[in-house]
Structure 1
Amino acid sequence: SESSDSEGSWEALYRVVLLGDPGVGKTSLASLFADPTLIQSANTTTKEDVYERTLTVDGEDTTLLVMDTWEAEKLDESWSQESCLQVGSAYVIVYSIADRGSFESASELRIQLRRTHQADHVPIILVGNKADLARCREVSVE
């Protein structure tokens, strides 16, 4: 978390980065976590959409920035490694239960994140998305 001191008030800032293969539902999840208002649209410099939500946790105001990364084919490798994997306070790795390849990619992303944050205790949350496609399931519940 980071703090900003404006008029004597302290506010925590948490960056939650959504990662995963194209089409797994990252943008849908971003809209659930954050207010529907997009505060920063994707552009060639940031390569992400950023959604913001202010929460009160234990009586303290907290700002949650949900960073919805562009699809993998739009990211250059250096930006992905140097920025995406380093800027988060927490990471949500999303895969589709109807796409075994996206699950395997999620495993690789977790390994990359653990290497990047070896000494840190950065939360990494794995989300199996698209449960409505249960008939097309390629990833077992186990």
Structure 2
Amino acid sequence: MSLAVKEKNQVRLVFLGAAGVGKTSLIRRFLLDTFEAKYKRTVDELHSKEYEVGSMKIRIEIMDTGGSYSFPAMRKLSIQSSDAFALVYAVDDAESFEAVRSLRDEILDIKGDKDIPLVVVGNKADRLGQRQLDAGRIVPLVELEWNGRHLEASAKDNANVLQLFRELLQQANLPSRLSPALRRRRETFPTENNCRPPMNKTNSCSVS
């Protein structure tokens, strides 16, 4: 996917996918390097951090969306205001990839642009004996037809989590100077998150 020449100093990443695929777990693993096995329903949460890279101030926002799609207006707003998208499915749940297909169509419809910064993530790659989806069938669709990137990850095992965020930030066209800060992500990102109040304020700042 080609990148614009102009560098940005602010970017919003949004995580979308069906309920229970591990969107929050991936974000939590990246921000806090922890994993919570017990599933808790997520209400839309916005994590943000501003810091300096050289003489440039960089602001990264990560939107964690709920998988119930109870608030289509909120989801539309999240899509409209985002720069790069992580569409998450679970490798042990074939139906969760159908949700990814639908979400991509919705993003295209809202954005009106086929060339969207997109990473499709097959989470729960650690569940080898329960796998229902083969990456060999998904990669050609995502990378050749959708012009996005595909990778498999495991929030539980911390596999490919950092690579996922690198891909998202690269596609969102943040400067390459961000790479050292990414490697020190638990220093550059806060352990307490600044959350924008969602429509339903219950558990608005939970990251588990």
Contact 1:34 1:64 in 2 (8 A): no
Map of 1:4-83 to 2, 5 A cutoff? 12-34=9-31, 47-54=43-50, 60-72=56-68, 75-80=70-75, 82-83=76-77
Contact 2:63 2:78 in 1 (8 A): no
User: What is residue 131 of structure 2 aligned with on the other side?
Assistant: 137
Q: Report percent identity of matched pairs.
A: 28
User: Normalization by structure 2: what TM-score?
Assistant: 0.51
Equivalents in 2 of 1:22, 1:87: separation in Å?
Answer: 22
Q: Which runs of 5+ in 1 are unaligned?
A: 1-10, 37-46
Q: How many pairs align?
A: 120
Q: Which runs of 5+ in 2 are unaligned?
A: 1-7, 34-42, 137-208
Contact 1:30 1:51 in 2 (8 A): no
Moved more, 115-124 or 85-94: 115-124
**As a proportion of its length, which structure holds more strand?**
1
Equivalents in 2 of 1:59, 1:121: separation in Å?
Answer: 31
Amino acid at match of 2:24: T
Q: What are the Cα deviations for residues 98-126 of structure 1, in whole angstroms up to 9, with x where unaligned?
A: 00000111011111112222237431110
Q: What are the Cα deviations for residues 26-76 of structure 1, in whole angstroms up to 9, with x where unaligned?
A: 00111234467xxxxxxxxxx511222446668633111111012315x22
**As a proportion of its length, which structure holds more helix?**
2
Larger relative contact order (C-alpha < 8 A, sep ≥ 6)? Answer: 2
